[in-house]
Amino acid sequence: MSLSTQPGRKHPPPSGSRTRGRPPNPELRTAKHAKMLKAAMDLFVDRGYEHVTVEQIARAAGQSKGAFYWYFKDKEDCLQQIVRAWAQKLDAALMQAMVNRDTKARERILAISDFRRWSDKEFQRFLMLLSGMAHSRSVSVREVAVKMAGEWTKNGFNMIRQLAQEASREAGWTPQQSAAFDFDAWAFCYLSCYNGIYSMFQHGLMETNLDPDRIANAIHRIFIHPVLQKEGVANQQQAAL
């Protein structure tokens, strides 16, 4: 049964009216909305989407169940708002790297490839949420996770490949060198490296003292520095032989 057909469901009043429990001004509503999203995300990650109720989300945010329905149609709408908010953050970060033409491609690819940029706790929590969604019993929830992961991976692949091509041209690669280098396979391996790192961290598979600085330096040495050197292709071809 949908929430709109549940007995006793109270619909929000007309715009401009004041109702008990609703924040009286836009700033306070925005703050409470953000607090509700944060509480919901933490619960979804820690307990799993299916095991969290609207009441638990509202209580964790210090608000009433009625307040929840000022911001969301239902629990799935809350989840989708969390995913959309993170999608916007990620798109903005990738877009900044692409459109910032005042900075050389060399600097942009170094910045976007810096693991420290993507290792903060909240981002790691979001990846855990996305992973849990992909295994949800709800078909629509799984579809949201698959769609976002697919779009983000595709955008990231195209962006990092383009940046690598621009950076190699800046480094003085000849057309023959560029033609000899498989940028598609390179970008695929680059993204697979990141996915593997996140997976191992999320599942606690590695008990090690590796910190974000060491991981960032390793990624740059393996994937980025060869692209930034004029002799990068020749060195990689020799290593492969």
The Cα–Cα gap between 234 and 183 comes to: 14
Distant-in-sequence, close-in-space partners of 114: CB < 8 Å, separation ≥ 6: 216, 220
Locate tokens 């032989």: which residue? 241
- Read off the pTM: 0.75
With a cut of 50, say whether residue 4 has pLDDT above it.
no
Q: What is the pLDDT of residues 41-51, one digit of tens each?
A: 999 999 999 99
The Cα–Cα gap between 223 and 189 comes to: 9
Q: What is the pLDDT of residue 91?
A: 83
Tell me the pLDDT band of 142, cut-offs 50, 70 and 90. very high
| Mean pLDDT within 214-227 | 95
DSSP 87-120: HHHHHHHHHHHHH-TTS-HHHHHHHHT-GGGG-S
Instruction: Walk me through the domains of the chain, giving residue ranges and CATH numbers.
Output: 22-71 (1.10.10.60), 81-240 (1.10.357)
